[in-house]
Each structure stands twice: as C-alpha cells, then as structure tokens.
C-alpha cells in the first residue's frame, strides 16, 4: 500500500508527486503517457499498471489532469475502486463541475475534496504554494498532514464548489491585472519606451493602488459606496476616456479597455457618479448586458 496515489502527471501532477515523495510519503502514480512517470519513479514512486490499480493502492487519491472531462474519462471506469477512499481533485474547473463531481464520488462511496492550486509547479511543496480545499471536512482533517506536504492548505467549507469559486475569483483579479499591464506595455512600447525602463514605475504604482482594496471590501460589505470617497466614479469615467482615445491614436487595440469604459458609463448613467469605483460590483452582479 502507498500513502497517496497521484493520477495525472503533467507539469502540476509531477510537481505534486515530487513534493509528496520529498516529504517521505509512499506514492503510487498513473499517467496516460507512461514516459512521464520516469521523473517521479527516479525519486521512488511506484507506477500502477492502470487507473484502478492506482486507486486501490492508497486511501488518498489525488487527481490532476487538464480538465474535468478528463477526470470523468480516466476515473469513470475505476469508480467502484474509489469506495471507502478519499478523492482530492485538483483539476481547474467551475463550482458546478466540482459539485457534480462530489455527487459522483459519493455515489462511488468515496469522500470528496475539491482543490484549487494557487501556484505554479516550481512553487509546489513550498509555503508560498497556497492550495484551497473544500468538501468533506472530516476527510480533509484526516488527510491534512499529507496535503500539507503540497503547500499551505486552506480549507474553505463543506460545499465542494467553494474551492473553485475562490480559485477563479483569484484568477479574475490576476487576469484583470495582467490585462492592464498588457495595455500599458503596448502603449509605452508604441512610443519606443523599453518595457524594462517602464516596469519599475508600473509595479510600484500597482502596489500603491492596492491600498484601496481593503476600503473597497468595507464598501462592498456595507453597501455604502459613498463614504471616504477619494476619487469618485464620475471623475474616473471622464479620465478613462483619455486612456481609450490615446490607445486609438497610437493604433493600440482597445479590446481590453473598452469593456471597463462601458461599465463606468453604465454606473454614471445609473446615478453613481459620486460613489466609489467599488459600486460597479453591484452592476456586475446582474447579468443584464
């Protein structure tokens, strides 16, 4: 018997298996392309002959292929073998997919934990690799020692959909940031300014602007977006036009920045000109555009 089975040895699955082996756990692995197991076999992993053998090898079964459909495809035929075990699914997906997977696992007689990995493979095993978990509390508590080998674990609640909800919401913040950085680099690049020269200014500006976020959290939670307003929506909507116009004038695409202008204008039209930008969360909360 092994301590943990790891199914799916892409970049992430390999990093997970390596971290577990590094911390002294006995690991059995399976991957569609057998050659990818060589790295972890060199570190002591056992290779299962098929998925069912991998599942039966351990009380804790960690799966991390590319998408949820793959989890169904790979684990579906081995569903009976999951009975009495804990399945931890670290594949990126939606809350709905996680809840459906939880229901399927329960039908197989397994405890289910969904996970969201907020890290890239080289970070796995270190304290900066945040891994979000939700689903069976009892199963999480029983296996927390092993899961902690992967990074810093954060348990969010019994609803299996919570981990992917937090995961995609954190990614939304990240991609919003990346979108702004891409626009900034396209604009400055068109003017011949080297990215390396501009980047220190951009990073320190973004750090300074993060100071507003705790205030936004208070405003969103209280529903009061008009107290402590430093830069109101009306002013920002007018200034934002310059960002769009300057992009057009420089022949830089406006595909990333136009949606924000449309939302700001909608906020002003809804009478929120004197409120903080945080008030736009209310407009996003209804899918009416």
* Residues near ligand FVH, by CB under 6 A: 8-13, 31-33, 36, 64-66, 70, 73-74, 91-92, 117, 120-121
Judged by beta carbon, residue 69 or residue 255, the one nearer ligand FVH is 69
Q: How far is the CB of 54 from ligand FVH (least distance, A)?
A: 12
Q: How far is the CB of 274 from ligand FVH (least distance, A)?
A: 40
Judged by beta carbon, residue 75 or residue 233, the one nearer ligand FVH is 75
Q: How far is the CB of 210 from ligand FVH (least distance, A)?
A: 22
For residues 22 and 66, the answer to whether their CB atoms sit within 8 Å is: no
Judged by beta carbon, residue 65 or residue 161, the one nearer ligand FVH is 65
Judged by beta carbon, residue 92 or residue 183, the one nearer ligand FVH is 92
Structure tokens given for 171: 């990614």
Rounded distance between C-alpha atoms, residue 240 and residue 235, angstroms:
9
Judged by beta carbon, residue 7 or residue 268, the one nearer ligand FVH is 7
User: Which residues sit opposite 217 in a β-bridge?
Assistant: none
Structure tokens given for 115: 């996970």
Q: How far is CA 54 from CA 109, 121, 148, 183, 203, in A?
A: 17, 22, 21, 46, 45
Q: How far is CA 81 from CA 115, 195, 207, 252, in A?
A: 21, 53, 49, 55
Q: How far is the CB of 66 from ligand FVH (least distance, A)?
A: 4
Judged by beta carbon, residue 164 or residue 267, the one nearer ligand FVH is 164
Longest dimension (CA), the chain: 66
Kindly write down the DSSP assignment for every residue of 26-70, as one continuous string: -EEEE-SSGGGGHHHHTTTPEEPSSHHHHHHT-SEEEE--SSHHH
Judged by beta carbon, residue 11 or residue 281, the one nearer ligand FVH is 11
With CB atoms as reference, the residue minimizing the distance to ligand FVH is: 10
Q: How far is the CB of 43 from ligand FVH (least distance, A)?
A: 17
Q: How far is the CB of 214 from ligand FVH (least distance, A)?
A: 26
Pairing of strands 4-7, 27-30: parallel
User: Which residues sit opposite 154 in a β-bridge?
Assistant: 132
Judged by beta carbon, residue 40 or residue 60, the one nearer ligand FVH is 40
In the chain, where does DSSP find H-type helix? 11-22, 38-41, 51-56, 68-75, 95-107, 137-147, 162-190, 195-209, 213-222, 233-249, 258-269, 280-284
Q: How far is the CB of 197 from ligand FVH (least distance, A)?
A: 29
Q: How far is the CB of 171 from ligand FVH (least distance, A)?
A: 9
Rounded distance between C-alpha atoms, residue 276 and residue 256, angstroms:
22
């Amino acid at each position: 018997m092994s301590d943990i089975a790891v199914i799916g040895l892409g970049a992430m699955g390999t990093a997970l298996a390596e971290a577990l082996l590094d911390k002294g756990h006995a690991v059995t692995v399976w991957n569609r392309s057998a050659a990818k197991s060589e790295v972890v076999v060199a570190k002591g992993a056992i290779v299962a002959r098929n998925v069912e053998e991998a599942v039966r090898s351990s009380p804790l079964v960690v799966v991390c292929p590319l998408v949820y459909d793959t989890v169904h495809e790979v684990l579906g035929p081995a569903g009976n073998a999951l009975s009495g075990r804990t399945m931890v699914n670290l594949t990126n997906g939606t809350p709905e997919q996680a809840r459906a997977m939880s229901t399927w696992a329960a039908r197989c007689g397994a405890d289910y934990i969904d996970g969201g990995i907020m890290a890239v493979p080289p970070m796995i095993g270190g304290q900066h690799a945040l891994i979000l978990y939700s689903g069976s509390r009892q199963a999480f508590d029983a296996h927390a020692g092993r899961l902690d080998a992967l990074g810093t674990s954060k348990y969010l609640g019994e609803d299996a959909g919570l981990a992917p909800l937090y995961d995609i919401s954190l990614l939304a913040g990240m991609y919003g940031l990346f979108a702004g950085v891409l626009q900034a680099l396209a604009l400055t690049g068109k003017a011949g300014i080297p990215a390396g020269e501009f980047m220190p200014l951009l990073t320190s500006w973004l750090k300074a602007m993060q100071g507003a976020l705790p205030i936004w959290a208070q405003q969103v939670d209280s529903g009061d977006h008009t107290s402590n307003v430093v830069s109101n929506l009306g002013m920002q909507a007018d200034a934002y036009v310059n960002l769009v116009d300057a992009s057009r004038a420089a022949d830089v695409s406006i595909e990333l920045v136009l949606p924000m202008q449309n939302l700001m204008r909608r906020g002003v039209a809804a009478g929120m000109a004197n409120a903080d930008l945080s008030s736009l969360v209310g407009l996003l909360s209804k899918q009416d555009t």
